[in-house]
Amino acid sequence: MSLFDLGGRVAIVTGANTGIGQAIALALAAAGADIAAVGRTPAEETAAKIRAMGRRAIIIGADLSTIEPVPRIVAETLGQLGGLDILVNNAGIIRRADSVDFTEADWDAVIDTNLKSVFFLAQAAGKHMIGQGYGKIINIASMLTFQGGIRVPSYTASKSGVGGLTKLLANEWAAKGVNVNAIAPGYIATNNTDALRADPDRNASIMARIPAGRWGRGEDLGGAAVFLASAASDYIDGHILAVDGGWLAR
């Protein structure tokens, strides 16, 4: 059996309808996993592509701006797919404004989705994983887990928090058979970065700093996700893996 084989595993992927979440869900399925695709927008396309690979896929509608759907997400996954081995906490939102003008509503919306729901979904999945003595949790961090950024105070705070939570959960759960790690994508061409790519000055300054010379694509994250979801990463805990085309090395 390959170290990277996910045959027989079941994964929850949040925000799986598009972009990074879709790419990770497809990569995990290609490695053999069955997928519970979670999101506000039904991940019909993602599920169809997974089923075309011969894997099982279910769609779970859930708005992770609150933690209300968290127990149902885990229960539906267990009930319909018969297990839960992998959680990818990918769902996230962003709000942009100068810090002097930033509103409480935009602060709360981002923190609730990007940090609070990440913790409580990890908690719910973690209880099951600890009980079975095995699990892989992959949180999606950001370059702003390491850097400050501009005009995105709640996003930077949330992604810095994701980095800290990843380490804390690893400290508590590594000895219980649950690996908790994170992927920090660089500048990836997704809906969240439309505004940056549409701004000629910001786009040029970003491109000038990426050693790889291009924006990332969702599929660039697939290999890292399969690695952290597989037996190949069994002795890796609390790590934040940058997939950034060399951005942080610059």
In the prediction, which pLDDT does 245 show? 98
In the prediction, which pLDDT does 62 show? 98
Catalytic hit among 134, 155, 187, 235: 155
Q: Which two tokens stand for residue 31?
A: 């490695």
At residue 130, does pLDDT exceed 70? yes
Cα 191 to Cα 21, 91, 131, 178: the distances in Å are 12, 12, 37, 31
- What is the chain's mean pLDDT, rounded? 97
Q: Are 93 and 64 in contact (CB under 8 A)?
A: no
Is residue 235 among the annotated active site residues? no
**Helix (H/G/I), strand (E/B), else coil: 83:** coil
Q: How far apart are CA 152 and CA 15, in angstroms?
A: 20
| pTM of the predicted model over 0.85 | yes
In the prediction, which pLDDT does 1 show? 67
pLDDT digits 0-9 by tens, 139-153 = 999 999 999 999 999
Q: Which domains does the chain have, with CATH numbers?
A: 10-242 (3.40.50.720)
